[in-house]
Amino acid sequence: MHYEHAPTRTHQWVTCPEPRPQATVKLLCLPHAGASPRSFFPWTAELDANIELLPVCLAGRANRMDEPLATRVEDITPSLANAVLPLMDDTVVFFGHSLGALLAFELTLELRRRGLRQPDLLVVSGRTTPGSERALKLHTLPDRLLVREVQRIYGGIPREVLVEPELLQRTLPILRADLQINETYDPALRSRPLSCPLLAVGGTEDPHVTGTELGLWRRQTSGTFRTQQFRGGHFYMAEGEGRAWLLGQLNAAIRELNG
């Protein structure tokens, strides 16, 4: 499927920073809390030429600035599933980091509920398996304390946001709503796991998602499963060697899909 809005093709839900008409694989990427689809745009330079990058744009940011922010998983996955249906005729990989991992997982569940095929690979990064979340309620904190605690626990708020009060005030409602999605998530009872291959990745020094906890994603699929870790914390993949490692993992996993 190709979106026709130049220079960056954009759909309500799905963006495409670099159209690749000859690509054989679609890589759908779901962002962490507070992030926009632009956080994925630099990836195009390091992905194999046959992979088309499709970052998801959640309400309240980028081309959807005027839309109300979502505060529940249920506000997102049904409409997002409708948006990705045309992709599912191709080889497609879902990737999500932290909150994005939860959304990628729930999107896959939504497709299964509809009797539709699951992605060829689900990649979850920097998140515990659904049902083993810690009881954090950061989204209820006052602004200043919210920023301090997010930076202390996770890090990841860009310096340019922290030092620019106006930009920080625009970012905080998005961050708060995204944290509410994550912190109020209540996994429904499920009779069976997914059937798609699943790769769980994370940082060796992430205090909130250990290697053991990454391994618990095994129970979420009857398909093939493996875990990989790179040195670093929760945002091990933000830049430099960590990002190169992650994109190398994605490239290699996708080459395996193509045989």
Residue-wise pLDDT tens digits, 115-168:
999 999 999 999 999 877 666 788 989 889 989 988 888 887 888 888 888 888
Which CATH number does 9-132+191-254 carry?
Answer: 3.40.50.1820
pLDDT of residue 3: 35
pLDDT of residue 190: 61
pLDDT of residue 1: 37
pLDDT of residue 4: 34
pLDDT of residue 134: 66
DSSP 57: -
Query: In 3-state terms, what secondary structure has residue 108?
Result: helix
Catalytic status, residue 125: no
pLDDT of residue 154: 83
Tell me which of 36, 39, 98, 125 is the catalytic residue: 98
pLDDT of residue 208: 86
CB 91 within 8 A of CB 24: yes
Catalytic status, residue 11: no
In the numeric block, which tokens belong to residue 55? Answer: 């970052």
List average pLDDT for each run of 10 residues in the chain, which is 259 residues long: 38 92 96 93 96 96 90 95 94 97 96 96 96 78 90 83 86 93 80 92 93 95 96 90 96 90
CB 86 within 8 A of CB 1: yes
The full set of domain ranges for the chain reads 9-132+191-254
pLDDT of residue 230: 96
Helix axis angle for 99-113 and 77-84, nearest 10°, is: 70
**Rounded Cα distance, 106 and 224, in Å:** 19
pTM for the model stands at 0.92
